[in-house]
Each structure stands twice: as C-alpha cells, then as structure tokens.
Amino acid sequence: MNALQPWHIIVLVLVVVLLFGAKRLPDAARSIGKSMKIFKAETKDLTGEQKTEAEAESADTRHIAAPAQTSHDQQVADLQRQLDELKKQQAASADQPQKNAS
C-alpha cells in the first residue's frame, strides 16, 4: 500500500517542471553533473595525496637511516666547489668590461 506507484512519479515530475520550468531543468542537470565530476576528481586527488605523503614519509625514514655524515661531507664539498666556480666566473665577467674599456 505504501509502495511508490507510477502516478506518484508523474505527479512529482509535473511539480518539478512547474516549479523550475522546462528551460531551466537541462541547465540544472548539466551543472549538477559538472559538480559531481569535480567532486569525484577532488576526492581522487585527496586519496592520491595521502598515498604520496605516506610514501614520502617512508622514503625520508629510509634516507635518515643511511650514513648521513659521509653524504653531508660530500654535499658540503660539492657546494664549496660550485661556489668557487661561480666566484671565478664572476671575476672573469667583471674583468672583461674593464679590458674592453681600455
């Protein structure tokens, strides 16, 4: 007796059409579809970010477990070498305008 009957659906559709109008219904359905697509994409991005954050944290812990002192010394040496090269380049570029002006 309480089941949804076909005439209930017909009355409901007629009320919706009368309230919103036949011209607005396709636009409303289109905007709802776009909203659902954006929502799905955002939730997928959020779950992907959570997975990448967990992977990054596990990679960080593996990196910390490695011998840090030797890698740190090597990085300092590389940076010092790069700094020396940049100073040489800067000195060479500063000397060139003076030679051209003479």
**Tens of pLDDT along 16-28?**
888 888 888 888 8
d(CA 72, CA 78): 10
- Put simply, whether the predicted model's pTM sits higher than 0.85 gets the answer no
- pLDDT confidence tier of residue 33, bands split at 50, 70 and 90: very high
- Max mean pLDDT among 35-39, 47-51, 91-95 falls in 35-39
Q: What are phi and psi of 23, to 5 degrees?
A: -75, -30
d(CA 37, CA 39): 5
Three-state DSSP state, 2: coil
Domain-wise residue ranges, the chain: 1-66, 71-102
